Structure 1
Amino acid sequence: MKRFAVLVLVGIAAGNGASAEDDIYTRFFTGADGGKPCYARYYDEPHLKAHPKQTVRRIEVDFDGSKPQDSGTPQSAAGFEGGIGFMLKRSKEWYGQALYCKTAGERFDCYLDADGGRITLIPQSDALRLEVTGGGGGTDRIAVEGGRDFGTFGGPGSDDRVFILPRSPRKLCDAP
């Protein structure tokens, strides 16, 4: 009888079919806000004055599960495409880039298109912790081409290596 009970429990666990990677991907991307979540952080002037080594004024990560990846491949936990955008203290220009991610255990490993750098997104409650993990273009920071110049952040010694991005209204990520 014990053997039967163990087999039933093993069968239930095996029949679930949903991996932890699918669950985390669903919770933070495809199942969040209708599959179009926005994670954003906007810093006010008092915060920026208190953190003079921080160069990022606004930063956001967004996703739209209704759109396939640029390659035409459907979005999945094994590979999905979103976007990253940021504004620096020195200008009002937005720097944006495609963000290619995959679920890796309890986090998302991502890289920016055009050799823009690498980040890790770590779920924390209803937010994502963004950590700069590698640089782009042969540097150790995030680098994205804007309309007039390159926007960079996240170099050693800066206050731009970790951000907590709470889930935010979609209009923040859709704004120009």
Structure 2
Amino acid sequence: MIRILSMPAFAASLLISAIAGGTARAEDEPKKASAAQAQAFDTTLVGSTAGKVKTFACFIRRYDADHLAAHPKQTVSAMKLLVTVDMPSTEQTYNHEFRLGVKFRHRKGDFQSAGSCNHAIVKDAGDEVRLSCPIDCEGGGIEIGIAASRRPQDKAAAMVRLEAVRIWDNDSKAEEETADYLKAGADDKAFRLERTSLKDCGSLVSDDDERIAMLGK
């Protein structure tokens, strides 16, 4: 038997469904991390408490032949990530920027990407705190998270996740002529990068003043 709702009841049911749907969509959206969560994230990311001067963190991964053989669809052979944390003079929240270096297994050249990040967000999956780092003009972007430790004594590693991010040839002065995209294929969606010395990310910094601030020379 088919139940026929009166017009008021039908309208009410539509309203309830719309509210429920809106609530579900709102719950699916990431929420801004609290001040305590953001501070803990920054401390773990840079390995120390972020202060009033620019702080840097470098992460890197070079995939060996065994790994690449086990992941034949992975196009990335090496990746490095430089994250900077800096407090602006007029606000009490930290600014984040990233520079990404990429090498490909079947393509010559050193490629990079760069951009600014939004404030830290909390993802539904395990309440993970991440930085969302979009690139202007439909350049895609990346998300930066803290990788789960494999062993208690491990230093924090970074997780880089992406759908698509604009990259360009680091050796070319004409970025617009070499712009391309690193897209998330079957094995190019998430990358675990290990913390390393800041000097390993020196190639991602072209500004002399910033290089001095990072490396002291």
Q: TM-score range by the shorter chain?
A: 0.5 to 0.7
Give the alignment partner of residue 167 of structure 1, picking from 174, 179, 195.
195
Given the alignment, which residue of 45, 50, 72 partners 1:52? 72
Query: 1:32 & 1:164 partners in 2: Cα distance?
Result: 23
Give the number of equivalent residue pairs: 148
State the shift of 1:56 in Å: 0.5
Q: Deviations over 1:90-125 (max 9, x none)?
A: 234221122322211322111235533122222123
Find the aligned partners of 1:144 and 1:108 in 2 and give their Cα distance. Answer: 19
Post-superposition offset of 1:64: 3.6
Q: Distance in 1 between matches of 2:106 and 2:194?
A: 24
Matches within 5 A, 1:51-130: 51-65=71-85, 76-77=93-94, 79-101=95-117, 102-105=119-122, 106-113=129-136, 115-124=138-147, 125=149, 126-130=156-160
Partner of residue 59 from structure 2, selected from 32, 39, 62: 39
Q: Which AA in structure 1 matches 2:106? A: R
Q: Max radius of gyration: which structure?
A: 2
2:181 equivalent to 1:158:
no
1:128 is paired with a residue whose SS is strand
Q: Distance in 2 between matches of 1:113 and 1:30?
A: 29
C-alpha deviation, 1:66, in angstroms: 6.3
Structure 2, unpaired ranges of 5+: 1-33, 123-128, 150-155, 205-217
List runs of 5+ in structure 1 lacking aligned partners: 1-16, 135-140
In structure 2, what is the Cα distance between the partners aligned to 1:73 and 1:82?
21
CA change 1:154–1:19 in 2 (3 A) is same
Kept in 2, the 8 Å contact 1:41–1:164? The answer is: yes
**SS of residue matched to 1:23:** helix
Taking only the aligned residue pairs, the percentage that are identical comes to: 26
Distance between the aligned counterparts of 2:110 and 2:137, measured in 1? 17
The answer to which structure has the higher helix fraction is 2
CA distance in 1, matches of 2:45, 2:65: 29
From 139, 142, 149, the counterpart of 2:165: 142
For residues 43 and 104 of structure 1, the distance between their equivalents in structure 2, rounded to whole angstroms, comes to: 29
Tell me the residue number matched to 1:19.
36
Corresponding residue for residue 24 of structure 2: none
The amino acid that maps onto 1:85 is G
> TM-score, normalization: structure 2?
0.56
RMSD value, Cα: 3.2
